[in-house]
Amino acid sequence: MAMRITIDPITRIEGHLRIDCEVDGGKVVNSWSSGQMWRGIEVILKDRDPRDAWIFAQRICGVCTTVHAIVSVRAVENALKLKVPLNAQYIRNMIIAAHGIHDHIVHFYQLSALDWVDIVSALKADPKAAAAIAQSLSDWPLNSADEFAKVQKKVQAFVDSGQLGIFGSGYWGHPAMKLPPEVNLLAIVHYMQALDYQRRANQIVGILGSKTPHIQNLAVGGVANPINPESQSTLTLERLYKVKTLLDELGGFVQQVYLPDVAAIGALYADWTAYGAGVTTMMAVPEMPLDTRNTQFALPGGFIPAGDVGRFQAMANFSDGFFEKGVKESAKHAWYEGSGEPLHPYDGETEPKFTGFEDDAKYSWVKAPTFNGERVQVGPLANVLAMYAAGHEPTKRNLGRLLSIAAKVGGNELPLSALQSTIGRHAARAVRCAVLTETLAAQWDLLMQNIAKGDYATFNAPSFPKGEIRGFGCHEAPRGVLSHWTVIKNGKIANYQAVVPSTWNAGPRDENDALGPYEASLIGNPVADPERPLEVIRTVHSFDPCLACAIHMIDGSGEIARIKVL
């Protein structure tokens, strides 16, 4: 007899995603993904000055603030066909890369590693043996036995105090946890070190963006970073060389710690390459523009039907009609007014109508996007497969290194298709992070070379015509394809729609009742203990779910999550 499980909330950073599953015979046989909060930023933006939209739009989230700011100015610039100075492109690209590196490090270590790593088991480890394993994977200088013993002692103090703090809500001792104690200790040591390195990535965002979260340096037409090597009040060489120091440190951590850790842990959980594939049609957009017209990019993007990289179709630029015409959203199963027929974002509607959770009707605040009528998965896996299919050398090289380490640890070669799985999404994110560290360094070089030519321009003033114009901005955000769409009439916003990565992946059933990527990925997942559905959490966390991250509430009793089994 099927059993119903409700997990609400499901993430470690915010509480607006609910997952319902039916479990029969120890496996998930049906699922529902539900966003539990109405965003409504589209309504707030109506009738405002388009130059102000990015300030409001980045409040969509408290983590991914930068990405909404970037894509909002791109949408207005696209509508105006406005050129962006090279220096502004390079500065934006560096912010994008640093934010992505920060996000991926935090996702693996702080938000999802504890789905695979047993903190309590690490107390049984031999620090010398654990350090020896780490040293066999890389020559990271903080992989010493003394460092491992110090962290183990710190974790022991947590346990002895009876107050596990941030480690308090894990499923320690769960039968699906199977890493040896030494590998658990290795992961915990690097969990602690990751807290410092994600901070360094955010320092770069803060230096270039003036503040983080919620950067303050953007403008429609460029950035508000004046460049003058003679003035201390501008973006000086001193600040730029501070960025250089930080990006070099980040590159070391990602290459010597993050990527080897994911490869090793993934190899020891190789059985999880059989779970979590779900929707295998994938999409990524090109990123890191290298010219003023957004026609050349450092990172390619495109469309992969049914997971077949041999059928990859590239997206040429930020004005590509293939992307612009293909996106629609259905509200058939979402709490909005309307017929349920899918609408293009330019014609999108945001009129809330809550009716309660109904399995076969409406059950989410998240709409269901489609691309040319198909459900697609977005995110680092789609991004890495698209770049691989496009022949992007840094992607192929870093992916090859990760698979080589995994083969060394696990004793078996893993095919490219193994990436289309729960554990594969983590591997792809590590590869993308490694690519971003190289891209960040390359963008720093391009900025310095352009300044050396005497080009200090960072802004082109926008001018809004009478009548109606339309435009969209797209961005390959840490969680996948992000796009904002705007209709501007006589210099004011007439309509604004945001189609975000978590909408693509977390969306409910569409107009044809096809499952969304979260829902489809859960079908067939094992569940050893319905009272502690760790396996369900693993698969959903592998997408890096985040809905309306700015708000997090707990009730007065201190309860932060509820598992309901019916």
Q: How many residues does the chain have?
A: 566
Active site residue 468: no
Give me the catalytic one of 21, 433, 474, 549: 549
**Structure tokens given for 225:** 């970073």
Cβ neighbours of residue 152 closer than 8 Å, sequence gap 6 or more = 122, 123, 125, 127, 185, 188
CB 58 within 8 A of CB 214: yes
- For 461, the 3-state DSSP assignment is coil
Q: How many CB atoms lie within 10 A of CB 256?
A: 18
Strands (DSSP E) found in 349-479: 368-371, 468-477
Give me the catalytic one of 12, 16, 39, 68: 68
Produce one character per residue of 265-278: b if its CB has 16 or more CB atoms within 10 Å, e if not: bbbbbbebbebbbb
Half-sphere exposure of 363 (CA within 13 A, CB side): 22
CA distances from 313 to 260, 320, 388 (A): 31, 12, 12
Residue holding tokens 């991250």? 549
Neighbouring-strand partners of residue 282: 304, 377
Active site residue 92: no
**H or E element, residue 302:** strand 302-304
Give me the catalytic one of 18, 99, 333, 479: 479
Q: In angstroms, rounded to a whole number, what is the distance separating the alpha carbons of residues 199 and 65?
A: 16
Cβ neighbours of residue 155 closer than 8 Å, sequence gap 6 or more = 119, 122, 123, 167, 188
Q: In angstroms, rounded to a whole number, what is the distance separating the alpha carbons of residues 68 and 243?
A: 23
What strands lie across the sheet with 17-24, from one edge to the other? 27-35, 17-24, 3-8, 562-565
**Structure tokens given for 339:** 């017929």
Sign of the dihedral through C-alpha 547, 422, 564, 555: negative
- For 62, the 3-state DSSP assignment is coil
CB 503 within 8 A of CB 329: yes
**H or E element, residue 323:** helix 321-326
Q: In angstroms, rounded to a whole number, what is the distance separating the alpha carbons of residues 308 and 320?
A: 22
Q: In angstroms, rounded to a whole number, what is the distance separating the alpha carbons of residues 282 and 313?
A: 11
Give me the catalytic one of 31, 33, 502, 542: 502
Give me the catalytic one of 21, 34, 64, 190: 64
For 499, phi and psi rounded to 5 degrees? -105, 100
For 161, phi and psi rounded to 5 degrees? -75, -15
**H or E element, residue 329:** strand 327-330
CB 158 within 8 A of CB 274: no
Active site residue 68: yes
Cβ neighbours of residue 48 closer than 8 Å, sequence gap 6 or more = 56, 492, 493
Active site residue 392: no
Active site residue 479: yes
Give me the catalytic one of 12, 14, 21, 429: 14
Active site residue 549: yes
Q: In angstroms, rounded to a whole number, what is the distance separating the alpha carbons of residues 253 and 184?
A: 19
Give me the catalytic one of 18, 39, 61, 511: 61
Please list the active-site residues: 14, 61, 64, 68, 479, 502, 546, 549
